[in-house]
């Protein structure tokens, strides 16, 4: 896997968090769009990133998530991780139900980030 920068890694993390319960809710999409608007004020083509995420099999989600969490960690400061953690928490709570899988992946991210 190629190393990604903080913003792209954050996109991957949110997309996987939205997929791990096998349900994608419009409120989760809203959170992801909010993140993208904040991180990328100018339009950017995410086709390659979406293709990469879509090509992952469910058993590949965890290693990819861990890798992207490490990329984000390597490219960020504590304040940025705290801010992103709010996006991630908002996303997993978007449908008013936090699945076990969402909680597990969220915990993995926090563990990698030593939080």
CA-closest candidate to residue 28, choices 96, 100, 91: 91
The two counts, helices (H) then strands (E), for the chain are: 6, 0
Tens of each residue's pLDDT in the chain, 115 residues:
789 899 999 999 999 999 998 888 889 999 999 999 998 877 788 888 989 999 999 999 999 999 999 999 999 999 999 999 999 999 999 988 899 999 999 999 999 999 9
Biggest CA pair distance of the chain? 35
Q: Which residue matches tokens 């096998």?
A: 22
What pLDDT was estimated at residue 45?
Answer: 83
Q: What pTM value is reported for the model?
A: 0.92
What DSSP string describes 19-33? HTTS---HHHHHHHH
Environment class of 84 (CB within 10 Å of its CB; exposed 0-12, middle 13-18, buried 19+): buried
């Amino acid at each position: 896997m190629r190393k990604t920068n903080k913003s792209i890694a954050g996109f991957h993390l949110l997309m996987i968090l939205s997929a791990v319960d096998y349900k994608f809710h419009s409120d989760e999409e809203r959170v992801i769009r909010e993140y993208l608007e904040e991180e990328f004020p100018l339009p950017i083509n995410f086709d390659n990133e979406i293709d990469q995420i879509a090509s992952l099999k469910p058993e590949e989600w965890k290693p990819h998530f861990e890798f992207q969490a490490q990329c984000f960690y390597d490219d960020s400061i504590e304040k940025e991780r705290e801010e992103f953690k709010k996006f991630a928490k908002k996303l997993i709570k978007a449908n008013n139900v936090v699945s076990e899988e969402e909680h597990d992946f969220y915990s993995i991210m926090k563990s990698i980030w030593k939080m």
